[in-house]
């Protein structure tokens, strides 16, 4: 137990500092009652971020184990700074800058002085955000399952079929495009253009990150063998984290319209995701629980479908979180059962010899 808690010492420190800052911010805006309210909202936002991003930690760990120690450290330091300040602060500001046609300083002033208007602009951009994130995350999940090199299957009836289809080049892209076309037909005509453009941008971003990463890592590998999983993998993880964060950032505005409180709450949650990632890598948890990674990618696939569905209907964030946690929980139970069965078989074989 103590060994596990060791990984979360920085997260605990950020939690105390973040909640104290949230309380002070509440005092500034609304006195003692505001302080208590902001404190509670920050805590709920942190839990929301953790529940939505546990699968993110598993996927990060899966990628990090192939990266060199240098790039692992860079992702866990620079990456967390980009994740917290880039996605939780700069990204919402960028949406307002583009949507409202104003400068970044005006956007910051708008967030501080007119939070309701700021939240309205963010809400209007939700369709494009969901379309981009849905296409990107669906490609991430399908690229994992449609792979002839994949040796372990969890939901065999489905995963075996997807693995056998790996010989069909571009199948993942065709599946994503089919989903995009289907959703486009269901949307009102006035929203079709924005949805199609954002979806294709998400698909293109995934492909460009893969191509760029392959080229950069090949060049680096020519210089040194230690560069395995370098800049390309770093860029992939950063875009992946951004796609995971869309849901949390948008959902946070349902709890509060204060940008700074959102940054505090989601930033606390992001630190726990970082700590979980480190623990999964250093303790080799993915190897110990063989189906945990599968549960994470099924969770990603479900999240991508939900993001597409959110372009037409409102789906509460708690549903997203529970579905993701459900797949990961079931995969964990399956892993534990497999380990017990393997130990029982080994013991039986040993007793016979």
Nearest in space to 14 (alpha carbons), one of 104, 61, 113, 80: 80
Q: What is the pTM of this model?
A: 0.73
Beta carbons of 39 and 26 less than 8 angstroms apart: yes
Q: For residue 236, is it within any domain?
A: yes
3-state secondary structure at position 229: coil
Q: How far apart are the first and last CA of the chain?
A: 37
Q: For residue 105, is it within any domain?
A: yes
Quickly state the pLDDT bin for 23 (edges 50, 70, 90).
Answer: very high
Within 10 angstroms of residue 6's Cβ, the number of other Cβ atoms is: 11
Virtual torsion, Cα 108, 112, 115, 117, nearest 10 deg:
-50
Q: For residue 349, is it within any domain?
A: no
Tell which wins on pLDDT, 74 or 223: 74
Task: Calculate ∠ Cα 146-152-155, nearest 5°.
Answer: 75
Mean pLDDT of 248-253: 66
How many separate domains does the chain show?
1
Beta carbons of 26 and 34 less than 8 angstroms apart: yes
Beta carbons of 271 and 15 less than 8 angstroms apart: yes
Beta carbons of 148 and 172 less than 8 angstroms apart: no
Find the DSSP H helices in the chain.
2-6, 9-64, 69-74, 80-81, 91-100, 104-113, 115-124, 126-145, 156-164, 171-186, 189-223, 231-252, 259-282, 285-288, 292-309, 317-352
The Cα–Cα gap between 255 and 272 comes to 20
Domain that holds residue 181: 2-341
pLDDT in tens, 42-78: 887 887 777 666 777 777 777 777 777 777 777 777 8
Nearest in space to 21 (alpha carbons), one of 274, 275, 250, 268: 268
Beta carbons of 46 and 266 less than 8 angstroms apart: yes
Q: For residue 18, is it within any domain?
A: yes
Beta carbons of 306 and 323 less than 8 angstroms apart: yes
Q: Quick check: 263 pLDDT over 50?
A: yes
Q: Tokens at residue 321, please? A: 């979180």
pLDDT in tens, 166-204: 888 888 999 999 999 999 999 998 889 989 998 998 899
Q: For residue 352, is it within any domain?
A: no
Q: For residue 213, is it within any domain?
A: yes
Within 10 angstroms of residue 40's Cβ, the number of other Cβ atoms is: 15
pLDDT of amino acid 205: 83
Q: For residue 30, is it within any domain?
A: yes
Least confident of 81-95, 161-175, 212-226, 231-245: 212-226
Within 10 angstroms of residue 63's Cβ, the number of other Cβ atoms is: 18
Q: Quick check: 223 pLDDT over 50?
A: no
pLDDT of amino acid 37: 86
Nearest in space to 271 (alpha carbons), one of 55, 12, 16: 12
Q: For residue 350, is it within any domain?
A: no
Within 10 angstroms of residue 73's Cβ, the number of other Cβ atoms is: 12
Q: Quick check: 274 pLDDT over 50?
A: yes
The Cα–Cα gap between 210 and 202 comes to 13
Q: Quick check: 1 pLDDT over 60?
A: no
């Amino acid at each position: 137990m103590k060994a596990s808690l060791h990984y979360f010492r920085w997260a605990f420190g950020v939690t105390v500092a973040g909640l104290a800052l949230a309380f002070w911010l509440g005092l500034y805006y609304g006195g003692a009652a505001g302080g208590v309210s902001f404190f509670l909202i920050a805590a709920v936002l942190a839990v929301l971020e953790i529940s939505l991003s546990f699968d993110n930690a598993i996927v990060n760990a899966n990628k990090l184990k192939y990266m060199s120690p240098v790039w692992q450290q860079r992702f866990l330091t620079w990456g967390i700074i980009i994740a917290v300040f880039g996605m939780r602060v700069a990204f919402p500001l960028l949406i307002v800058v583009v949507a409202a046609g104003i400068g970044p300083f005006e956007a910051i002033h708008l967030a501080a002085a007119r939070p309701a208007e700021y939240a309205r602009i963010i809400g209007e951009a939700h369709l494009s955000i969901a379309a981009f994130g849905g296409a990107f995350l669906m490609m991430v999940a399908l690229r994992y399952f449609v792979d002839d090199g994949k040796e372990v299957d969890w939901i065999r009836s489905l995963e075996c079929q997807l693995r056998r289809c790996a010989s069909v080049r571009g199948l993942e892209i065709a599946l994503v495009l089919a989903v995009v076309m289907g959703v486009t037909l269901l949307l009102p005509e006035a929203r079709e253009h924005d949805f199609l453009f954002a979806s294709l941008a998400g698909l293109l971003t995934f492909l460009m990150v893969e191509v760029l990463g392959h080229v950069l890592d090949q060049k680096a590998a020519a210089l040194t063998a230690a560069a395995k999983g370098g800049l390309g993998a770093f860029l992939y993880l950063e875009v992946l984290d951004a796609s995971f964060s869309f849901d949390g950032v948008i959902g946070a505005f349902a709890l509060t319209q204060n940008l700074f409180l959102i940054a505090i709450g989601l930033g606390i949650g992001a630190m726990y995701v970082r700590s979980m990632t480190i623990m999964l890598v250093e303790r080799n948890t993915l190897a110990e629980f063989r189906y945990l990674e599968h549960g994470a990618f099924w969770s990603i696939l479900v999240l991508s479908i939900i993001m597409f569905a959110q372009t037409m209907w409102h789906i509460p964030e708690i549903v997203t979180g529970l579905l993701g946690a459900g797949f990961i929980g079931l995969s964990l139970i399956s892993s534990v059962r497999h380990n017990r069965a393997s130990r029982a078989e080994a013991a039986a074989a040993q007793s016979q010899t």
